[in-house]
């Protein structure tokens, strides 16, 4: 349930309050996402929450899932996309880009590094695709 004040454009971070497990955390904000948020904010003028439902109040988890699914279809993805899959992709891309697992753990809000280590199996798959220059 993001509020406009949760967007920190100076530090390019988003403060996520009371996420899974009741934890607070910061995550990254990209330049293009910031521009999209500014455009959205000027057009929609949300009152309390950054993304508000038709009756006011925050978007429900079901509504968020519907938006993700609709946009996946709109861009031609022929898979059943979920918000959790986007989170998983974010973590995997960070890992593949060489970001330290401890930073990823912090961004995802994991209490245990064991939870974050689940993402390493995807990165290991990538290692098998590397051409062995020693051969």
Give the Cα separation of 52 and 41 in Å (integer): 11
Write the CB contacts of 1 (distance below 8 Å, at least 6 apart in sequence): 17, 18, 49, 58
Q: Tell me the per-residue pLDDT of 6-50, one tens digit each, with 9 for 90 and over.
A: 999 999 999 999 887 788 999 999 999 999 999 999 999 998 999
- Global pTM exceeds 0.95: no
Enter the tokens of residue 68: 């993700």
Given a contact cutoff of 8 angstroms between Cβ atoms, the answer to whether 107 and 24 are in contact is no
Three-state DSSP class for residue 129 = coil
Nearest to 91 by CA among 127, 64, 117: 117
The dihedral built from the CA positions of residue 89, 57, 61 and 79, taken in this order, carries a sign that is negative
Residue 135 has pLDDT above 80, yes or no: no
Q: Tell me the per-residue pLDDT of 59-96, one tens digit each, with 9 for 90 and over.
A: 888 999 999 999 999 999 888 899 988 888 888 888 88
Nearest to 64 by CA among 77, 45, 51: 51
pLDDT at 82: 92
Give the Cα separation of 16 and 82 in Å (integer): 19
Helix or strand holding residue 39 (H, E): helix 31-44
């Amino acid at each position: 349930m993001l509020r406009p004040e949760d967007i920190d454009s100076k530090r390019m971070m988003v403060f996520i309050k009371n996420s899974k497990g009741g934890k607070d955390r910061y995550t990254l904000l990209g330049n293009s996402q910031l521009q999209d948020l500014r455009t959205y904010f000027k057009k929609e003028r949300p009152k309390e929450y950054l993304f508000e439902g038709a009756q006011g109040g925050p978007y429900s988890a079901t509504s968020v899932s519907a938006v993700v699914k609709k946009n996946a279809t709109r861009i031609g993805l022929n898979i059943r996309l979920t918000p959790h899959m986007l989170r998983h992709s974010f973590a995997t891309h960070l890992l593949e880009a060489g970001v330290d697992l401890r930073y990823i753990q912090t961004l995802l809000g994991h209490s245990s590094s064991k939870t974050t280590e689940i993402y390493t199996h995807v990165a290991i798959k990538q290692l098998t695709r590397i051409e062995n220059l020693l051969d």
